[in-house]
């Protein structure tokens, strides 16, 4: 039987978290949970609800001067004998409790219960966040329904343990390649050893001084690291090739092109191939809706160091931040859990922000 999110459940973000956790929704298998969320949004009666695959978008249309977006994914990583949810004291255990059904539950709870927000609000619930980018529901929306992402500011309710994590760093992976000449190890002077040439690449990496950049009060700490190295043909052959895989995490004041230009400079004289790249996102905390949100939270924001879907919003010119009740340290773990008071506090903070008259 399909799960039903009753008005009583929707009125309580903790009960709603539990109900969402108990609908199993590993990436690719979100039909049932999306149906339940869509039905709850339609039942609210005052939202225009649209659907694209297993993405649901619900919008208020109150003619407010600005529109904000609250977004959360509905999928989880594969379960690990941790369903249904269990409660022990102040903790709720289960797959998705932290990442991020507690956050999506808050958004759905607000969609169902805040009748007169001070902003127009778009609530977005999407699928396939935990798998490759092409399947990501938010990515599909950006390609097929970009108007759903219209807004002046977005909050993603990914786990931050109740902190405001602004912007995010970009990430780039490159292969730095050295070339030599093969020869028999017994007559090595006929060859040129590509593995030895990797020494200079590694020396540049260990001497590298990573930047720390402060933007809107958030400190972003960059990192440039070798993460893998491969080379060698056989134990009696001078190798003609060595590959060093390098991971660059860059602050959001650099674009991808800048980041690549910087890597070309660092590894000047070496062949360089980009294997993966994703831009960062500026914190955008100077926007009025963002400032009002920070006033309500009353705590200084911190920089998001990992890569999250906020950069999809940033790529469309919408500043976005992460704010969710889950503890990111327990995401994807067998003992994944969320602190129940953080769910209530997060729901209250967002409710106060949404209902405080805009200045």
Q: Could you write out the DSSP letters of every residue in 234-255?
A: -TTEE-SEEEEEEEEEE-TTS-
In angstroms, give the least distance from the CB of 301 to Zn ion: 19
Residue whose beta carbon is closest to Zn ion: 99
Task: Tell me how far, at minimum, the Cβ of 214 lies from Zn ion, in Å.
Answer: 26
Residue from 100, 108, 218, 297 in contact with Zn ion (CB under 5 A): 100
Kindly write out the interface string for residues 145-164 of this chain, putting x where it contacts Zn ion by CB under 5 A and - elsewhere: -------------x------
C-beta of residue 256 within 8 angstroms of C-beta of residue 279: yes
Residue of 99, 120, 127, 327 interacting with Zn ion (CB under 5 A): 99
Q: What is each CA distance from 279 to 105, 168, 265, 285, in whole angstroms? A: 28, 9, 19, 18
As measured in angstroms, the least distance from the Cβ of 263 to Zn ion is 29
Q: Which two tokens stand for residue 89?
A: 């004291």
Q: Which of 82, 126, 31, 29 is nearest to 338 (CA)?
A: 82
Question: Is residue 71 at the binding interface for Zn ion, with CB under 5 A as the rule?
Answer: no
CA–CA distance, 232 with 236 (Å, rounded to integer): 10
Residue written as tokens 């922000």?
A: 353
What's the rounded Cα separation, in Å, for the pair 157 and 77? 17
The C-alpha atoms of residue 248 and residue 259 are separated, in whole angstroms, by 8
Residue with tokens 């990797």: 198
| Pick 156 or 314: Cβ nearer Zn ion | 156
Which residue's CB is nearer to Zn ion, number 100 or number 166? 100
Residues present in the chain in total: 359
Closest distance of CB 323 from Zn ion, Å: 13
Query: What is the token pair recorded at 144?
Result: 């097929």
* Rounded Cα–Cα distance for residues 157 and 334 (Å): 21
CA-based nearest residue to 114, from 353, 358, 359: 353
User: Binding string, 157-196, against Zn ion, x = CB under 5 A?
Assistant: -x--------------------------------------
SS3 230: strand
Counting residues that bind Zn ion (by CB under 5 A) gives 3
From the list 97-105, 186-194, 195-203, 338-346, the region that binds Zn ion by CB under 5 A is 97-105
- CB nearer to Zn ion: pick between 117 and 167: 167
Region for residue 167 given its phi and psi (left: phi exceeds 0; alpha: psi -120 to 50; beta: otherwise): left
Expressed in angstroms, the distance from the first to the final Cα of the chain is 47
Here's the x/- map for Zn ion, 201-230, by CB under 5 A: it reads as: ------------------------------
Pick the closer one to Zn ion by CB: 135 or 241: 135
CA angle 16, 9, 350 (to 5 degrees): 55
- Judged by beta carbon, residue 60 or residue 98, the one nearer Zn ion is 98
Give the nearest distance from C-beta 193 to Zn ion in angstroms. Answer: 45
Residues with a known catalytic role: 75, 129
Stretch that binds Zn ion, among 93-101, 138-146, 224-232, 275-283 (CB under 5 A): 93-101
Beta carbon nearer to Zn ion, 120 or 158:
158
Shortest spacing between CB 244 and Zn ion, in angstroms: 31
Contacting residues toward Zn ion, per CB under 5 A: 99-100, 158
């Amino acid at each position: 039987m399909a799960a039903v999110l009753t008005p009583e459940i929707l009125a309580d973000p903790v009960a709603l978290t539990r109900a969402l956790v108990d609908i199993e929704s590993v990436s690719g298998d979100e039909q049932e949970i999306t149906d339940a969320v869509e039905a709850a949004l339609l039942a609210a009666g005052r939202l225009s609800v649209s659907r694209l695959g297993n993405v649901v978008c619900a919008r208020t249309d109150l003619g407010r001067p600005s529109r904000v977006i609250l977004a959360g994914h509905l999928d989880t990583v594969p379960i690990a004998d941790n369903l249904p949810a269990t409660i022990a004291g102040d903790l709720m255990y289960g797959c998705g409790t932290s990442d991020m059904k507690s956050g999506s539950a808050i958004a759905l709870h607000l969609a169902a219960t805040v009748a007169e927000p001070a902003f127009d609000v778009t609530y977005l619930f999407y699928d396939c966040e935990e798998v490759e980018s092409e399947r990501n529901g938010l990515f599909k929306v950006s390609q097929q329904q970009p108007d759903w992402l219209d807004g002046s500011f977005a909050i993603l309710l990914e786990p931050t343990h109740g902190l405001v994590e602004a912007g995010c760093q970009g990430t780039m992976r490159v292969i730095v390649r050295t070339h030599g000449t093969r020869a028999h190890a017994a007559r090595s002077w006929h060859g040129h050893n590509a593995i030895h040439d990797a020494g200079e690449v590694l020396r540049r990496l260990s001497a590298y001084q990573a930047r720390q950049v402060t933007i809107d009060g958030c400190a972003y700490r960059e990192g440039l690291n070798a993460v893998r190295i491969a080379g060698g043909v056989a134990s009696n052959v001078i190798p003609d090739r060595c590959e060093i895989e390098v991971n660059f995490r860059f602050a959001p004041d650099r674009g991808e092109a800048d980041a690549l230009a910087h890597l070309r400079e660092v590894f000047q004289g070496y062949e360089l191939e980009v294997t993966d790249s994703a831009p960062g996102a500026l914190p955008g905390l100077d926007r009025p809706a963002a400032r009002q949100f920070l006033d309500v939270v009353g705590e200084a924001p911190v920089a998001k160091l990992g890569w999250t879907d906020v950069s999809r919003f940033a790529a469309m010119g919408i500043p976005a931040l992460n704010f969710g009740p889950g503890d990111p340290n327990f995401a994807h773990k067998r003992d994944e859990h969320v602190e129940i008071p953080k769910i209530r506090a997060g729901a209250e903070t967002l409710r106060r922000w949404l209902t405080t008259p805009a200045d």
